[in-house]
């Protein structure tokens, strides 16, 4: 006789709760690990140890005949390792920078429910339990709120895996005295949001931010005679669609934000690229001290002489000192036609002697060099099994 479905679901719920208890216990052990490493000054990550751990888990599952695919085991424990690494980084950073235990003010683009809002909340909860949300209508306003002291931090999107770099943010970084103090990657899952359950063929107008429209261009082309209305943010689009309450309109945005405005999901997974991720940066008035035990990044702004091979000579400095460059972005210099400045992101701590030597050598090949910030690399690369 087949087991009752209700009983099966009760068993699943009980197992899930047991898993949560074990995950919580493992999470707490990360603090014991980091306190030990704080004394020994060992780096937080030991990728060789992580690889051994993953292989041992796969082998153990096979020996116990657990019937779990190695890839499934690896993916789960890669995420667990990532949580442990980030937890340890946050612990060290809070001690090093004497993080104050009070509400922090964070500025972000759009209203509640925007991707920037969700990313800001995600970042804040790593360091604080409470935050004061400051919604902004433009990137410029975020910079202004941080500069004036109204906001402790500003969270801005810098690049997306589908639509690429966000040039408006790069251009604002040219002229700011603010410092980059953090980063985070946030998964972007767009969906069609409507007031009432209806057929997709009824929709003739879509509201959203230009970046969202670009990231969902293939889906939009599959629709017949749809008009696009651009909004300052996806959250603004959701709010507008909710207030208009018409059966022929929809907003493109995230499901969590849609719920805040009482909207329903009509269709999910509409992005051009399945792994659609936006990388956000965090700005503050003062630079951050980054523990030497933590994997860190530094963003530089540089211009080179207008001569053959100047950029190549500059980049060779990083190869010479075995520093990995994760980003090279060029932007025009306003008022100087046909000349460009370069943003270079490197995996290095600005306070390390090797990095200081690199900066000294770069000055020989550049006409302008500025450090925009050094920050923990909180986008943890998965351990290779």
Weakest mean pLDDT among 25-29, 120-124, 246-250: 120-124
Report the pLDDT value the prediction gives residue 301, as an integer from 0 to 100: 94
Residue with tokens 């090949």: 365
Contacts (Cβ under 8 Å, ≥6 apart) of 319: none
- Cβ atoms of 301 and 368 closer than 8 Å: yes
Report the pLDDT value the prediction gives residue 99, as an integer from 0 to 100: 59
Report the pLDDT value the prediction gives residue 128, as an integer from 0 to 100: 66
Per-residue pLDDT tens digits for 285-314: 999 889 999 989 999 999 988 777 888 999
State the Cα–Cα distance between residues 365 and 314, nearest whole angstrom: 6
Per-residue pLDDT tens digits for 78-92: 999 999 998 999 889
Averaged pLDDT of the chain? 90
Tell how strand 205-208 and strand 249-254 pair up.
parallel
Averaged pLDDT, 327-341: 81
At 100, the pLDDT band (50, 70, 90 cuts) reads low
Question: Is the full-model pTM beyond 0.75?
Answer: yes
Q: Is 27 left (phi over 0), alpha (psi -120 to 50) or beta?
A: alpha
Averaged pLDDT, 325-330: 92
Per-residue pLDDT tens digits for 221-270: 998 889 999 998 888 999 999 999 999 999 999 998 899 899 999 999 89
Provide the b/e sequence for 198-216 (b: ≥16 CB within 10 Å): eeeeebeebbbbebbbebb
- Cβ atoms of 241 and 220 closer than 8 Å: no
- CA angle at 363 for the pair 287 and 308, rounded to the nearest 5°: 130
Per-residue pLDDT tens digits for 135-169: 998 999 999 999 999 999 999 999 988 788 999 99
Averaged pLDDT, 10-35: 95
At 382, the pLDDT band (50, 70, 90 cuts) reads confident
């Amino acid at each position: 006789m087949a087991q009752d479905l209700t009983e099966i679901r009760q068993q699943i719920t009980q197992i899930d709760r047991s898993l949560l208890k074990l995950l919580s216990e493992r999470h707490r052990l990360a603090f014991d690990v980091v306190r030990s490493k704080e004394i020994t000054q060992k780096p937080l990550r030991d990728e060789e140890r992580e690889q051994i751990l993953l292989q041992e888990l796969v082998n153990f599952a096979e020996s116990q005949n657990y019937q779990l695919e190695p890839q499934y085991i690896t993916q789960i424990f890669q995420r667990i390792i990532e949580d442990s690494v980030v937890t340890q980084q946050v612990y060290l950073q809070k001690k090093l920078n004497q993080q104050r235990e009070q509400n922090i003010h964070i500025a972000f683009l759009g209203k509640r429910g925007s991707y920037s809002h969700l990313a800001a909340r995600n970042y804040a909860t790593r360091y604080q339990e409470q935050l004061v949300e400051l919604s902004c209508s433009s990137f410029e306003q975020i910079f202004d709120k941080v500069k004036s002291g109204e906001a402790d931090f500003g969270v801005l999107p810098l690049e997306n895996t589908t639509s690429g770099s966000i040039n408006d943010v790069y251009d604002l970084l040219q002229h700011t005295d603010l410092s980059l103090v953090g980063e985070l990657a946030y998964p972007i899952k767009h969906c069609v949001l409507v007031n009432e359950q209806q057929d997709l063929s009824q929709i003739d107008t879509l509201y959203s931010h230009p970046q969202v429209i670009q990231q969902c261009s293939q889906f939009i082309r599959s629709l017949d005679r749809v008009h696009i209305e651009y909004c300052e943010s996806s959250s603004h689009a959701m709010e507008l669609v909710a207030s208009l309450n018409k059966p022929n309109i929809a907003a493109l945005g995230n499901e969590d934000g849609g719920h805040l405005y009482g909207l329903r999901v009509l269709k999910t997974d509409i992005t051009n690229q399945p792994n659609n991720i936006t990388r956000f940066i965090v700005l503050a008035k003062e630079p951050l001290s980054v523990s030497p035990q933590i994997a860190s990044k530094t963003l530089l702004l540089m211009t080179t002489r207008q001569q053959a091979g100047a950029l190549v000579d500059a980049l060779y400095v990083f190869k010479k000192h075995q520093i990995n460059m994760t980003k090279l972005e060029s932007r025009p210099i306003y008022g100087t036609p046909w000349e460009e400045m370069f943003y270079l992101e490197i995996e290095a701590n600005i306070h390390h002697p090797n990095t200081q030597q690199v900066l000294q050598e770069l000055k020989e090949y550049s006409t302008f060099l500025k450090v925009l910030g050094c920050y923990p690399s909180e986008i943890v690369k998965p351990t290779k099994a």
